[in-house]
Amino acid sequence: MTTDLLKAILTATEPPAPPARDFTFVIAVMKRIERHRLMENLSWLFTVTVAGTALLFLIMPYITPALTTIGQSLWREVIAAATVLVSLYGLEQTRRTFGWRLF
């Protein structure tokens, strides 16, 4: 049997090809990607949280006295720095989500 004939038979005996434009399939793939991304983010957050908690558990007994002393004298600066850091982090996350460019 020639290659052309074999090709004709193989293609003719198959079930109909999927449509060239199939948005249901594309949406299904993108859903899976979102799920994959969510699981990646969750596992990353879980790892960071566990590592952070373990680190704090180990070092807190040593730094607590120093933090108490600093906290009493610099509490305004500490709150201001924390607010700035959280705001910057929030801004960066928003920028990434909406694809904004700062420059």
Partner 1 sequence: MGIGTAIENEAQWIHQAREGSDSAFSRLVAEHQQAVRIFVRRLATVPDDANDLAQEAFVTAWANLHKLRDGVRFRTFVCGIAYRKALNDRRRFNRSGSRETEWFGLQEQFRVSTVDSKLTVQAALANLPLDQRAAVSLCIAADYSHAEAAEILGLPLGTIKSHILKGRAKLNALLGVPDDN
Q: What is the DSSP-derived secondary structure letter of residue 20?
A: S
Structure tokens at 43: 């596992």
Return the closest-CA partner of residue 90 out of 100, 78, 79: 100
Q: How far is the CB of 49 from partner 1 (least distance, A)?
A: 23
Q: Which residues from 13-52 bind partner 1, rule CB under 8 A?
A: 13-15, 17-23, 25-26, 28-30, 32-33, 36
H/E stretch holding 1 reads: none
Question: DSSP of 33-68, one letter per residue?
Answer: HHHHHHHHHHHHHHHHHHHHHHHHHHHHHHHHHHHH
15 versus 65: smaller Cβ distance to partner 1: 15
Q: How far is the CB of 30 from partner 1 (least distance, A)?
A: 6
Residue among 11, 68, 72, 73 that touches partner 1 (CB under 8 A): 11
Structure tokens at 25: 């399939």
Q: How far is the CB of 47 from partner 1 (least distance, A)?
A: 18
Q: Which residues sit at the interface with partner 1, rule CB under 8 A?
A: 1-3, 6-7, 9-11, 13-15, 17-23, 25-26, 28-30, 32-33, 36, 96, 99
